[in-house]
Structure formats: C-alpha cells, structure tokens
Amino acid sequence: MKAEQQINKFFAKQKQFFDHQAPGIISKTAVEYYKESFRKKAFDGKPWPAMSKGYKPKRGSLMVRSSKLLNSIRDTMTTAERVVISAGNSKVPYAKIHNEGGVINRASRSELFIRNRNKANNRFRKGTKSGRGSTFKSFTARMPQRQFMGYSFELNERIIKRIKAAYKSA
C-alpha cells in the first residue's frame, strides 16, 4: 500500500509540473525565439531573402523600423493542453503576408481632400475651398516570405532543454 501511495504521489507531482509550469516555459521560450528572428533576420537557420534592387528604405532595418510587428508577437492563450502565440493586430494587419509571403493586390481608388494653408504660419487649416481629388492606380506587388513564426527545429530543442532544466530543479 505504501508503494502505491508513493507512485500516485510521484505521478501527481509530474502532472502538476506539466499542467502548470511547462506551458509557461513553452510560451516564454517561443515568444523570445520569434522576436529573435528579427534580430538575426533568419528563421530556423534560413536567412530572409534579400531586398529587391528598387526598394530604398527610409530609415532603420527591414521590418523593424517602427517595431510594431515585433511588439505584436505575444502569448494569446496558455493552458495545460495548448499554447498559442500570435502576431499582428488591428495596427499590424501585414503580419500574415510578411510571415507567409504572397501577392498584394491593391484596387484603384479616388480620394477627395482639402489642403488649405494658413499664410501667416504655413500650417494646415480647416478647408474653406472645394476639395481636390486624387486618383490612385491599382497595383500588384509580390511579397517574398520573411518567416518569423512557425514550426522550428531550433525552437523545439530550446523548449526541451528548458523544460529538462526546470524539471531537474523542481
């Protein structure tokens, strides 16, 4: 009877570790790894494709200018059965096209706007004249895949190492 209680206690301890501590370790490790992809400009050992010759960046480096995409990587859900890490939000709708690559189709559109300037201080002021229209042509752009999230052998190795270290110390 005593051996049976010890075995039950042992497995209860295992369940507690894998239900409560392991998902947090997985989540934290994955978010760190995905954010690190921006610094290395590579994912799972594969570097991102080079920029096209016609592209001239305004400032900063590729996909890191404002850090909105980088900062949108977060842990969405962590339970004993599932860990979900996501990127993008309403301010970063381009996360999916950067991660997966693809074609961007933009429809033609027209806009009406008023840009009156105050002559004294050369600043914009409320419009008093009728608006001036602008028309923008439709275009298609090919976005190469610059993956920063997804399945990764390197990430799996890191997670296994961290879980083993945490389990030994617990």
Q: From residue 2, give the alpha-carbon distance in Å to each of 6, 8, 17, 46.
A: 6, 10, 23, 54
Q: What is the DSSP string of the chain?
A: -HHHHHHHHHHHHHHHIIIIIHHHHHHHHHHHHHHHHHHHTEETTEEPPPPPTT---SSSSTTTSS-HHHHT-EEEEE-SS-EEEE---TT-TTHHHHHH-EEEEE--EEEEE--EE-TTT--EE---SPPEEEEE--EEEEEPP---SS--HHHHHHHHHHHHHHHHH-
What pLDDT, on the 0 to 100 scale, is given for residue 134? 79
What pLDDT, on the 0 to 100 scale, is given for residue 162? 95
Q: What is the pLDDT of residues 123-150, one digit of tens each?
A: 655 655 555 677 889 989 888 898 999 9
In the predicted structure, residue 76 carries a pLDDT above the cut 90: yes
- Give strand pairing partners of 104: 141
- What whole-number distance in Å separates Cα of residue 42 and Cα of residue 34? 10
What pLDDT, on the 0 to 100 scale, is given for residue 154? 94
What pLDDT, on the 0 to 100 scale, is given for residue 109? 86
Of 124 and 30, more confident: 30
Arithmetic mean of pLDDT over the chain: 84
Q: What is the pLDDT of residues 88-126, one digit of tens each?
A: 888 888 889 989 999 989 899 887 766 666 666 666 556
Rounded mean pLDDT of 36-49? 89
Which residue type is seen at 49?
P
